[in-house]
Amino acid sequence: MNSKERVKAAFHFNKPDKIPISCLSLKSDFFPVRIYPPKSWQPIDYPPHVPGGVDSISKPLYRLFIYRWKRGNRIRAGYARKWWQYPHKSIDEWRNMWKSSGTKSEDITRGHPYQGFLHDNWDELENFEPPDLTDKKRYRILKTYIWKLLGRKRYTIGELVPNGFFALCSQIRGFSNFLIDLVRHPKQVEQLINKLLPYFITLITKYKEYYSSLDSVMVADDLGTQKSPFISPSLFQKFFKKPYKKIIELAHDFNLDFILHSCGEILELMPDIIDMGVDVFEFDSPHMVGVENIKKIAKQKKVAFWLSSNIQSTYTLGTPEEIEEEIKLYIKEVGNNQGGLAIYEYMSKRALGTPKQNVIAQRESVRKWGNYDEEGKIDWIKS
């Protein structure tokens, strides 16, 4: 099997030859595809907040080939040439403000939402519009020959940037405000979601148009705290289930898998999410939902899992031996169903401070223990 075939077999319980893995190397079975702001988008009062935050824009190759804030705008706004090195506020295309401590303080995360476009009130809701996705320059990277060549035999994923319905609404309105709005201002919440829905429909359609070999789309929507979802299942059903179902059905019409990343303990929401048609859950911290719970769901073969060694504990703080045992546990409990499992490598080990030996340990553990026999069973597990 090539990588594309392997991941499809794993995600659809169809006897892959081995556990697929995403990693920051040419040995990865996965290949991401995403859009970028057009270079014509040039904020004049604040630096631009780009996907990936300062960790992206601090890289010379990113500024050379993908996006650069024009020198004239930077000077007029009063920022230093290497503005990303210092604490600053930035603005994204959605007109949301972000805070970053800068790379000099080793804050290489994407930053933190500071003030959304509708933060103070709902007065500007009628004037709010998502970024224009008809601009072909947004798709300039994914249309290149090299990008299509690199993804040719890998499982390709179109990223539904910047976030899913819940997280994006909470950025635009402000997190605390939005949680209150779900009860006090339901009509405005529905209006905002209805303004976001065409954005996602257009993005999925454009991905398929410009990258015809695409295999899936993925959205990041952090729905949980450390101990429970942010909202009740009834609120999720009321506001988010229907719009999600629409974009998932569209993805399936294009023969694309739909992958949901979510941080937090979201076990209560998972039945509704599965009912929406999600094909794969990607969890960075599987301990929050619980491996035993994931095992029970995986056995039903309705949804697959793409899991990392737990980034809040084992992956960052554990030993290589502990990581190996955790990966073995995932394979035994989740992946021994003629598929159903892939292993995820967190994209920025610098942001987590992950020791290099732990990154290597996860990769080697998958290669060592993640092999299937002809019946789709893990060969070292006794039945």
Q: pLDDT tens, 168-212? A: 999 999 999 999 999 999 999 999 999 999 999 999 999 999 999
Average pLDDT of the residues in 309-334: 97
Mean pLDDT of the chain: 95
* pTM attached to this predicted model: 0.96
> Per residue in 84-102, pLDDT tens?
999 999 999 999 999 999 9
pLDDT at 350: 74
Average pLDDT over residues 355-372: 96
CATH topology classification for 3-38+115-369 = TIM Barrel (3.20.20)
pLDDT confidence of residue 379: 82
User: If pLDDT is split at 50, 70 and 90, which confidence band does 74 have?
Assistant: very high
Question: Which phi and psi (to 5°) does residue 282 adopt?
Answer: -110, 120
Q: Using CA atoms, how far apart are residues 12 and 91, in angstroms rounded to an integer?
A: 40
Whole-number pLDDT of residue 352: 84
What pLDDT is stored for residue 64 in this prediction?
A: 94
* Least confident window among 19-28, 107-116, 299-308, 338-347: 107-116
Does pLDDT of 119 surpass 70? yes
User: What does the pLDDT average to over 16-25?
Assistant: 95
Q: What is the pLDDT of residue 76?
A: 96
Mean pLDDT of 149-162: 95
The pLDDT assigned to 382 comes to 65
121-144 average pLDDT score: 95
User: What residues does CATH 3.20.20.210 cover in the chain?
Assistant: 3-38+115-369
Sheet of 88-91, strands arranged across: 88-91, 97-100, 112-115
Give the tens place of pLDDT for each residue, 235-264: 999 999 999 999 999 999 999 999 999 999
Residue 230 confidence (pLDDT) above 80: yes
**Which position has the higher pLDDT, 375 or 382?**
375
| pLDDT mean over 130-155 | 93
On the question of pLDDT at 383 being above 60, the answer is: no
**Residue 324, C-beta contacts closer than 8 angstroms, at least 6 positions apart:** 361, 364, 365, 368, 369
The structure tokens listed for 30 are 């996965």
Q: pLDDT of 38-54, one tens digit each?
A: 999 999 999 999 988 99
